[in-house]
Amino acid sequence: MPRLAVGKILVVLCNIAIVGWFGSTAQAQPGQGIVAQLPGTNPFDSTLTEALEAAWAERQPDYRPRTRHLNTDGSPQYTNRLYLEASPYLQQHAHNPVNWYPWGDEAFETARRLNRPVLLSVGYSTCHWCHVMEEESFEDEEIATYLNEHYVAIKVDREERPDIDAIYMSVVQMLTGQGGWPMTVWLTPAREAYSGTTYVPARDGDRGARIGFFTMLERLKAAYDRQPDQVAAASAEITRQLALRLAPVPSDEELNNANTLDKVAAYYDEQFDNQFGGLQGTQKFPSGMSIRLMLRQHRRTGDVRALNMATRTLEQMASGGIYDQVGGGFHRYSTDARWLVPHFEKMLYDNAQLACLFFEAASALSEPDYTRVGKDTI
């Protein structure tokens, strides 16, 4: 089934009327610290409660709960399973009123036993829009109550589980034509996706959104309950398309390293932005690997075009807003094609590669400005 056909199924599912459903809008009362009951849930069992209390007792003296839901003594009103996780990103969500689970068999077994869909949310600790969605939706007690009563909610750190991120990002890209974080995916208890998107404002009309996250939760839960055959058909087709998308492409050609490099360089040339450098697009991500490939392609073959693409990109990046002209280092991406307006986060893995790239370019081209950028990035 082509993407448009899958999309039509999902549109039908999302527009099912919510007839006879009355959601709880009661606000949760302030809890009693680490063992407080999450809104819309049963109390944790004794094993989980004891584990949370033990972890809380061993917290660092300067620990500050990252939530707006605080008791008068500064302790959190809510604490969920993510407090026991090692990931900094998961720990950021440990005091949401959402009954989060980490990825694992327990979450999917719970979804199967309760016959509930799974809400999968994937992000990372320095992601701006992940924090926005947390503040707007996952810290909202009404939304959290609905999630806890009707879904099993799973949080995944994409830097801890890139395998999970890659699979479901392919689903979101297949369904919507784009991807990004936070990634939001609706799953069956069999781990098959039946809808997906990225950031969504909390409610209809917020930030100009026609349909908000709360409404999507209601409609896709109604679809799961009232149209199980359509949900099963959609998830099966999405899974089939995903398998085709991720399958290796067979080739009768014998692998030739030099020929492969030439093909990659030619493909990069086709996608190159001759005016501003980098790949064509309305946003620009600094890729150290592709520019390094162009530098080495020039060194290997004498290809002047490859050298020009590399230097054009390096110069545009170093002179643009994506490079921190005051403190050094590169932001994760620019929100425009000119490398001018940065998205204000810096990733260690990006800057490590880019520092090495500028040093390599400085050595190859005897360009002192590249050395300066590399040093300032470190």
Asked if residue 192 lies in contact with residue 242, where contact means CB atoms within 8 angstroms, the answer is no
Q: What is the pLDDT of residues 125-179, one digit of tens each?
A: 989 999 999 999 999 999 999 999 999 999 999 999 999 999 999 999 999 999 9
- State the pLDDT at residue 1: 44
In this prediction, residue 251 carries a pLDDT of 67
- pLDDT tens per residue, range 274-288: 999 999 988 899 988
Per-residue pLDDT at 255: 65
The candidate with the shortest Cα–Cα distance to 349, out of 158, 198, 184, 181, is 158
227 neighbors 216 (Cβ within 8 angstroms): no
- Percentage of residues in the chain having pLDDT higher than 70: 89
Q: How far apart, in Å, are the Cα atoms of 353 and each of 36, 207, 374?
A: 45, 35, 10
Residue 260 pLDDT level (bands cut at 50, 70, 90) = confident
Residue 361 has pLDDT above 50, yes or no: yes
318 close to 252: Cβ distance less than 8 angstroms: no
**More reliable by pLDDT, 333 or 6:** 333
What the chain holds in terms of domains, given with CATH numbers, is 3-246 (3.40.30.10), 257-377 (no CATH)
pLDDT in tens, 104-126: 999 999 999 999 999 999 999 98
Question: pLDDT tens digit string along 176-225?
Answer: 999 999 999 999 999 999 999 999 999 999 999 999 999 999 999 999 99
Instruction: Tell me if residue 121 falls in helix, strand or coil.
Output: strand
DSSP letter, residue 279? B
Q: What is the pLDDT of residue 172?
A: 97
pLDDT in tens, 69-100: 999 999 999 999 999 999 999 999 999 999 99
Full strand arrangement of the beta sheet holding 152-157: 100-102, 152-157, 118-123, 183-187, 193-197
Provide Rg for the chain, Cα atoms.
24
Confidence of residue 18 (pLDDT cuts 50, 70, 90): very low
Average pLDDT value for residue range 25-38: 55
What pLDDT was estimated at residue 80? 98
